[in-house]
A and B are shown apart, each in its own frame.
Chain A
Amino acid sequence: MKTARDILVVDDELVITQAVVRVCGAEGMSVDVAESAAAATARLARCTYRLIICDVMMADVDGFQFLADLGRRQVRTPVIMSTGMSTMENAVKALYAGAIDFIPKPFTADELLVAVRRGLHYARLQDAALAASATKRPVSLAYVPCPAKYYRLGYASWVSLEGTGTVLVGVSDLFLKTVDAIQDVRLGAVGEEVVQGSSCATITSTDGLDHGVLCPVSGRIVEVNRGVASTPAVMERDPYFEGWLYRVLPSELQYELQQLSSCSSDRL
């Protein structure tokens, strides 16, 4: 029987792993440390984890390869990627590769905790979904997946093409389920530029934490959903239709769609 632990942090920098141990340990989470992908693999053989935090640049194999290896070995533990090369491209690439979140280094204790809490929520929801499918109940009892023909960045934000050249951008139900009830939403203004992979809205949950929403496309905001701005709960009620955030005039849609996952393929 494998030991059940909360978090495995994989990084070749001792100061990072120790910081994660301190911050998450203070919150009562059990944290293990691996200084390389090989050490992480060895740890995974002995213990099960609810969440893995993994650096992109490591001495032996890079984080993306480690992520792919986990997929091949059918390890279902959600992975949060982190790197000192904190560019939008790396964020988008990590999310496309299957990471559930991306924390750019350097991060504050709060930024780390917010991502970890969401990650643990995600793991719980995933377990619930798994349990539900085992009992042949529909997945949508745990959360509503994004509709077909939508595209998503990681599991957090979605984009839906409108016939008119503009796109709608919103937050997925799964993301909303990983945060506490929404208290407030801070949105950008019409005319502002948004960039794929960088934060375009901040959701404050009732536990006082701020959650950045990474925008799935780049472009200019042409309309902000006033309904959501006045009553953020609309997002929770109907995340994929009424609860959209922005209507965006995309600048590089064709290029950026290649970095997004299609929601249609999720349903196969």
Chain B
Amino acid sequence: MTTGAELLPSYSLAAGREDEIALPASWPSEVTPEWAWGGATGEGVRVCVLDSGVESGHPLVGEVERSIAVVADDEGFAEVVEDTEGDVFGHGTACSGIIRSIAPECTLGSARVLGPANQGRAGLMAAGLQWAISEGYQVINMSLSTTNRELLELLHELTDEAYFRRTSIVASANNVAEESYPWRFSSVISVGSHEDEDPMRFYVNPSPPVEFYARGIEIEVAWRGGGQIRSSGNSFATAHLSGVCALILSKHPELTPFELKSALRLTAANTVMEAV
């Protein structure tokens, strides 16, 4: 796959061609939450939840635009099929409800890549990610990761490809101190938990690899069968930040993943703005 033709050729800039790289929008002198997402609803932004499936029609989730499942075929290769099972254990529905609560008018899609406990998890995840990127989702919520280093190169290529295609991947950091992917890649937006109750409050971490902290403890989330449960974890912090990303992109659709991450940096609760 290639990046959009409008960006090529882009390896160098010849003299006198500066006008050809005029940016689509200007930035304010001070990037504030009000500028970033004030009045935004997520409208026009497509968010894909890469997880255990999503229960479409759940009161906290609403309609799901499209649901696919990545399954292993007879020879063990990943295959994308239309999903008729919905959510197989509730995790994807919980994340989706959070995204919807922050960005009520975003469009949600579901790619089910989780199933039985140890079954081909990493390969299905990578195939699901590839599908979501090719479908042009602006935000992909990945509240999951893999420690399988055999897929490191593939995942790296996929996240870079997403980055250049203007797909922002919001990925959950491991809940225990262990190296896993893709959240460690700098091309994605990685998220851990904080304990505050404000769903719109997030912090930038000055000591990555975890780059942002969002609400992740004791959250009322959607559950299968139209229900609700209380749960905690970086998965849900990730969903909060995916929702914020959907808000920002609905108001500023021209932003690239690099610019979106910059906007998050400048609107984080621990950013101190100083007049110049």
Are A and B subunits of one complex?
A: no
Residues of A at the B interface (CB closer than 8 Å) are: none
Task: Spell out B's residues near A (CB within 8 Å).
Answer: none
